[in-house]
Structure 1
Amino acid sequence: MSKKIIILGAGLSGLLTAYRLQNKGSEIEIIETRDRIGGRIHTVHSNIAQVEMGATWFNDVHVNFKKLLSELELDYFEQFMQGTSYFEPFSAAAAQEIEIPANSPSYRVLGGTNQIVESLKNKLDLVTIHLNETVNQLHFENDKVKIMTQNQYFEADYVISTLPQALFANDITVTPTLPEKLTAIASKTHTWMQDSIKVAFIYATPFWRNKQFSGTLFSNVGPITEFYDQSNASLDKFALCGFVSSGMEMYNPAERLEKIKLQLVKVFGQEALQFTSYQETVWSKETATKSPKQIGFMYPHQNNGHPLFRESYCDNRLFFAGTETAKQYPGYMEGAVIAAENTANVILKL
């Protein structure tokens, strides 16, 4: 008799876990809170832009992620960093011109990072994905687990959570209760990008490249803290994209944009205001990223990769496979791949 596995979350780790377990004798379903797949991978496509509002970059040390790209027959290209870059050390001084060494390149997925999750989804022939379903309770009893959402309930033999650990600990009631040592660590585990605000300006022409600028900005002043060229590989869509300081969350979108525009002009000149459209994602306000119950400061990657996350619970019926659980590169796409592969292997051994 086949076993039923339910995976919480349709991000990279959830989809890859399902793909590794597909056709291995189990029935698999995925439950996703959002109205889309991808989780913290979120590429915004339009006829004039292709910008990454979520996970974007990887490099040569991310060998498992690169291996997955090869398996999925997806290509990648090097992040454009050529020309003059800028650094703002403090507000009283003009931005300094700097050169970025080319010894450790970063890469982006050709066609957008969402090509990975779409490719995996297209390969999940036997897996049902339920969108717009928020899990709020797990009941383990009689060798089964009941998964309650706001709309319905599911029953399974195994549950694999790929949700951010703090979100799982704060927002899902588990019966019987999980070990206190696990919930205490999980509730204090930083979710990578949970406080990030990502912005993108789309342009008809890459004015910065025409001036031999890289489009790169690092700033201690803000509101932009990091900015990069986000033009696509075929150079027919052009954008500047990056992060603004988390303190900008206190402003409304219009106020935030006005403050960012002041910095753009200061660093790049008046041409920077000739953008055709603007995108922003405040990740703390995004569905299923940061629990509303989560309070207090957390260090980046706090408790990421904790060994408790790689144990099984509830008599080998509850497993964790989100990127923050990975032993190496937790929080990154590489960590999501490692966590998915490891958890799938553990399940298959059962």
Structure 2
Amino acid sequence: MIIIIGAGLSGLLTAYRLKRAGIPFKILEARNRIGGRINTVIGANDTPMEMGATWFGDQHQNLKALLEEFEIRYFEQYMDRIVYYQASQTSPIDSFQIPNQAPSYRIEGGTSNLINCLYNQLDEGDILLNQTVREIKFLNNSVEVYADTVYIGSRVVLAIPPKLWAKRIRFEATLPSELMEIAEQTHTWMEDSIKVALTFDQPFWQTTGQPRTFFSNAGPITEFYDHCNSERTKFALCGFINSSFKKLDDSERRARVIDQLKKVFGPKVGEFTDYVECVWSEEKNTFEATDIPHYPHQNNGNQFFRKTFFEDKLVLSSSESAAESPGYMDGAVFAANLVARKLIALDGLKAF
């Protein structure tokens, strides 16, 4: 049996490929939900709001191929040509025209639609939630994984961000020091992001003819976009809050956000039906503090992550480990496909 640690996109896709090949596995997930850094929250009127991974582009061919494999539709993100912009706290909020942008896309029904499709291909007992792995022992003919109980398998796949397994899991025997150093200094995508979304019964911006795209160097919100569904029957706005505002408590941060949005969009924005945010640095299964801040995507895609260890008993997989599009959903798909092919080949079977 292969033990997969992490039920995010990479872990679930690896499991799905193994399932199709007839190779037994078990997924251990520390959270009480699947999806990892993909988390679609359903708000008023069944409006999907993305608190994690959202957008992808034409360059992300691995993800697009997976969506086509599952016949999951996606649609182009609406982008205003005229946008609101605030250069600083003392600057006025201006509107100006931006050049044409390369298209970006969102998954119909929310990004978690892909997660749920993968999950539905697995059996009920394939995933165990609330399983925080503390130690992994590599024996001559097996691997022991210590969580709430001890799980014994033939191989283990680390499908979580490298910094998390490097800092939180004890390995016996020890991993190469160079690998551990690189892993500890690898930026975890989304780890310090704050996402926010508001839903509305009606799209006030359409009746007023306003832009719904907003960029700010002042904050708290730094980017804000149209977040309606593909049919434009459910209405929302969504974006990012400057990570420095994580120091505020929830109520003060929310008050600052609403005050900013009213200055941009007017009083109508205060008629929202839902206000949802996710401070990813408060997600203990995503964020791990470091003494020296990492720059975006630091060490993502490092070649060390594509090696196997302990006579192929340990395989690494996550968005950060991918040779292509590291740090993105596309990278998680690339990594999962590569790892699944390795595992299937090691079992002497024909890969997909």
Normalising by structure 1, what TM-score?
0.95
How big is each residue's C-alpha offset from its partner over 1:251-297, in whole Å with a ceiling of 9 and x where there is no partner? 100000111112111211111111112101000111310125x3321
Q: Distance in 2 between matches of 1:195 and 1:123?
A: 32
The one-letter code matched in structure 1 to 2:72 is L
1:336 is matched with 332
Instruction: Find 1:307's aligned residue among 303, 311, 316.
Output: 303
The one-letter code matched in structure 1 to 2:190 is M
1:61 is matched with 59
> The residue matched to 2:212 in structure 1 has which SS?
strand
Counterpart check, 1:183 vs 2:180: yes
1:163 is matched with 160
Contact 1:18 1:127 in 2 (8 A): no
> The residue matched to 2:2 in structure 1 has which SS?
strand
1:32 is matched with 29
What does 1:77-96 align with in structure 2 at a 5 Å threshold?
77-82=75-80, 84-96=82-94
How far has the Cα of 1:231 moved from its partner? 1.0
How big is each residue's C-alpha offset from its partner over 1:55-94, in whole Å with a ceiling of 9 and x where there is no partner? 0001111111011001011001111113531111122221
- CA RMSD, aligned part only? 1.4
What does 1:35-184 align with in structure 2 at a 5 Å threshold?
35-48=32-45, 49-82=47-80, 84-125=82-123, 128-149=126-147, 151-184=148-181
1:253 is matched with 250
Counterpart check, 1:209 vs 2:224: no
Contact 2:44 2:199 in 1 (8 A): no
2:350 is matched with none
How big is each residue's C-alpha offset from its partner over 1:23-56, in whole Å with a ceiling of 9 and x where there is no partner? 4242111000111110000000134221000000
The one-letter code matched in structure 2 to 1:94 is P
How far has the Cα of 1:209 moved from its partner? 2.5
Identity percentage of aligned residues: 45
More moved, 74-83 vs 331-340: 74-83
2:292 is matched with 296
How far has the Cα of 1:329 moved from its partner? 0.9
More moved, 163-172 vs 198-207: 198-207
Contact 1:22 1:124 in 2 (8 A): yes
1:8 is matched with 5
How big is each residue's C-alpha offset from its partner over 1:287-308, in whole Å with a ceiling of 9 and x where there is no partner? 310125x332110101100000
What does 1:269-288 align with in structure 2 at a 5 Å threshold?
269-288=266-285
Contact 1:22 1:127 in 2 (8 A): no
Q: Distance in 1 between matches of 2:98 and 2:344?
A: 45
Q: Distance in 1 between matches of 2:211 and 2:334?
A: 33
The one-letter code matched in structure 2 to 1:51 is M
Cα distance change of structure 1 residues 121 and 18 upon mapping to structure 2, 3 Å threshold: same
Q: Distance in 2 between matches of 1:99 and 1:65?
A: 31
Q: Distance in 2 between matches of 1:190 and 1:253?
A: 25
The one-letter code matched in structure 2 to 1:216 is T
How far has the Cα of 1:127 moved from its partner? 6.3
Q: Distance in 1 between matches of 2:20 and 2:220?
A: 49
Contact 1:30 1:127 in 2 (8 A): no
Residue segments in structure 2 that go unaligned for 5+ positions in a row: 347-352
Residue segments in structure 1 that go unaligned for 5+ positions in a row: none
More moved, 305-314 vs 258-267: 258-267
Q: Distance in 2 between matches of 1:291 and 1:52?
A: 22
The one-letter code matched in structure 1 to 2:230 is A
Q: Distance in 2 between matches of 1:302 and 1:32?
A: 25
Cα distance change of structure 1 residues 46 and 270 upon mapping to structure 2, 3 Å threshold: closer
> The residue matched to 1:213 in structure 2 has which SS?
coil
2:233 is matched with 236
> The residue matched to 2:222 in structure 1 has which SS?
strand
Contact 2:18 2:24 in 1 (8 A): no
Runs of 4+ in 1 over 6 A off after TM superposition: none
Q: Distance in 1 between matches of 2:96 and 2:300?
A: 33
Instruction: Find 2:318's aligned residue among 302, 307, 322.
Output: 322
Contact 2:44 2:274 in 1 (8 A): no
How big is each residue's C-alpha offset from its partner over 1:235-265, in whole Å with a ceiling of 9 and x where there is no partner? 2221111110111111100000111112111
> The residue matched to 1:303 in structure 2 has which SS?
coil
Normalising by structure 2, what TM-score?
0.95
The one-letter code matched in structure 2 to 1:201 is L
How big is each residue's C-alpha offset from its partner over 1:101-128, in whole Å with a ceiling of 9 and x where there is no partner? 3441111000110010100111124861
Q: Distance in 2 between matches of 1:279 and 1:183?
A: 36
The one-letter code matched in structure 2 to 1:46 is G
